[in-house]
A = this chain, B = another copy of it.
């Protein structure tokens, strides 16, 4: 059974997940995947540890909702969202969004749409620990809100 929404502490393997995503869909011609990783530098400070907090229950519901919206908007064969929670370190993988379609346009747009809405609508929060032990909550980026809005605009014009 392929779970299309997963919130987990464990890491994931990209090849394995994309293979599973494609399983049983012979008409897939394009798979676009997004992998988000922990950068070691954020706002000019080194990051030693990144902690991901979430809202259990709502997280899964919000992610499934975003996934469904993408499927309503583009002809997608399958899609997958894995988001890690807990402690991570620089270069660790945080999130995987993978979208499969017959053609590349829908796969690119679908994956991009899911990421933009995940950034603004899924209840995750990042807390950084710097090498000196001080911690700080990561601020939301204004650009994430703007990125989401472009899809609303595109929808109104359609």
Q: Contacts A32-B33, A111-B108 known; A27 to B39 CB distance under 8 Å?
A: yes
Q: Does A40 contact B (CB under 8 A)?
A: yes
Cβ–Cβ < 8 Å partners of A91 in chain B: 22, 26
Partner of A27, one of B14, B32, B34, B40: B40
**CB–CB A31/B35 < 8 A:** yes
Any B CB within 8 A of the CB of A53: no
**Distance A91 CA – B29 CA, assembled complex (angstroms):** 8
Residues of chain B within 8 A (CB-CB) of A108 are: 34, 108, 111-112, 115
Knowing A15-B14, A26-B40, A39-B26, say if A34 contacts B31 (CB, 8 Å). Answer: yes
Shortest CB distance A66–B (Å): 15
Verify A30–B40 contact, CB threshold 8 A: no
A32 and B34 CA atoms in complex are apart in Å by 5
Produce 1/0 per residue, A103-145, CB < 8 A to B: 0110110011001000000000000000000000000000100
Classify the secondary structure of A's interface with B: mixed
A153, CB-defined interface residue at 8 Å: no
Q: Report chain B residues within 8 Å CB of A13.
A: 15
Kindly provide the distance from the CB of A49 to the nearest chain B CB, expressed in whole angstroms.
15
Residues of B within 8 A of A8 (CB): none
A/B interface sample: 10 pairs, CB < 8 A: A14-B15, A22-B37, A29-B39, A30-B36, A31-B35, A34-B104, A34-B108, A39-B102, A104-B112, A105-B143
